[in-house]
């Protein structure tokens, strides 16, 4: 809304919003399916807009998604965002809060793409639907263990695996719903956002056309 300059400091003035998504969900306890869809559609539109302008957010989580009193969603905090280009650049692996950090960031040497944001969005989707955090790891290795425990080890070898990952036990791929209480359509959308292979992972634009939004 405005910018103020002093000798060494730049002040950026933004509109005031009532709370972030974490606070909203904690305060509301139970949200309607209609509101969940409205919020998630707005989140996906914001992410699709960023990606269409070659920007990776790199820190999507409920605390960085703001909610106005009119139930308008604003994606915020672009302090870790970067532009992306072809050929791919190498980025820092120390991005995104651990619970929302994509598998390729956890395992790679810094080569990842905008698909990393989609993984984070999938993790947010679970909480938006009224469930606990999907991958609540305490450290990177713990985070990887929880992910493969819930998503299975099938196709994970498509990634560049550090040697320690080969010692993880084999976990079967989920035959049903990875989140108890999610319906079939919600589960399908979630699994498309959490593909190990980034080429198979749904984009924000494709997610907006998913049958989840049909009704």
Q: What is the pLDDT of residue 171?
A: 82
Residues in the chain: 215
Q: How far apart are CA 55 and CA 52, in angstroms?
A: 7
pLDDT on residue 183: 94
Cα three-residue angle 191-192-195, rounded to 5 degrees: 80
Q: How many CB atoms lie within 10 A of CB 115?
A: 21
Query: Tell me: domain 18-213, CATH 1.10.510.10, correct?
Result: yes
- Asked whether 140 and 106 are in contact (CB, 8 A), the reply is yes
Per-residue pLDDT, 167: 64
- pLDDT tens digit sequence for 134-163: 999 999 889 998 999 999 888 776 666 665
More confident residue, 104 or 87: 104
- Tell me which DSSP letter residue 104 carries: H
Share of the chain above pLDDT 70, in %: 88
Q: Which residue has the higher pLDDT, 153 or 115?
A: 115
Residue showing tokens 């791929």: 173
Using one digit for the tens of pLDDT, what is the confidence trace for 163-209?
556 666 778 888 778 899 999 999 999 999 999 999 999 999 999 99
Encoded tokens for 47: 């992410």
Which residues are annotated as catalytic? 59
What is the DSSP track for 69-112?
Answer: TT--EEE---TT-EE--SSPPB--S--S-GGG--HHHHHSSSB-
pLDDT of residue 133: 95
What pLDDT, on the 0 to 100 scale, is given for residue 213? 97
pLDDT at residue 215, as a whole number: 82
Q: What is the pLDDT at residue 172? A: 80
What's residue 141's pLDDT? 87
pLDDT for residue 206 = 98
């Amino acid at each position: 809304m405005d910018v103020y300059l002093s000798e060494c400091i730049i002040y950026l003035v933004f509109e005031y919003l009532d709370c972030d998504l974490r606070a909203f969900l904690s305060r509301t306890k139970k949200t309607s399916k209609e509101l969940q869809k409205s919020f998630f559609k707005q989140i996906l539109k914001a992410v699709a807009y960023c990606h269409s302008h070659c920007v990776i957010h790199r820190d999507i989580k409920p605390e960085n998604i703001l909610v106005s009193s009119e139930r308008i969603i604003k994606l915020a905090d672009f302090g870790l965002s970067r532009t992306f280009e072809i050929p791919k650049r190498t980025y820092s692996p120390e991005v995104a809060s651990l619970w929302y950090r994509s598998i390729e960031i956890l395992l790679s040497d810094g080569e990842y793409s905008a698909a990393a944001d989609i993984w984070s969005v999938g993790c947010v989707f679970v909480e938006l639907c009224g469930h606990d955090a999907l991958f609540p790891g305490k450290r990177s290795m713990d985070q990887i263990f929880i992910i493969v425990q819930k998503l299975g080890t099938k196709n994970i070898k498509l990634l560049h695996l550090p040697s320690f990952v080969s010692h993880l036990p084999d976990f079967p791929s989920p035959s049903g719903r990875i989140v108890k209480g999610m319906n079939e359509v919600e589960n399908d959308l979630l699994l498309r956002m959490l593909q190990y292979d980034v080429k198979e992972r749904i984009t924000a634009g494709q997610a907006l056309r998913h049958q989840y939004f049909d009704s």
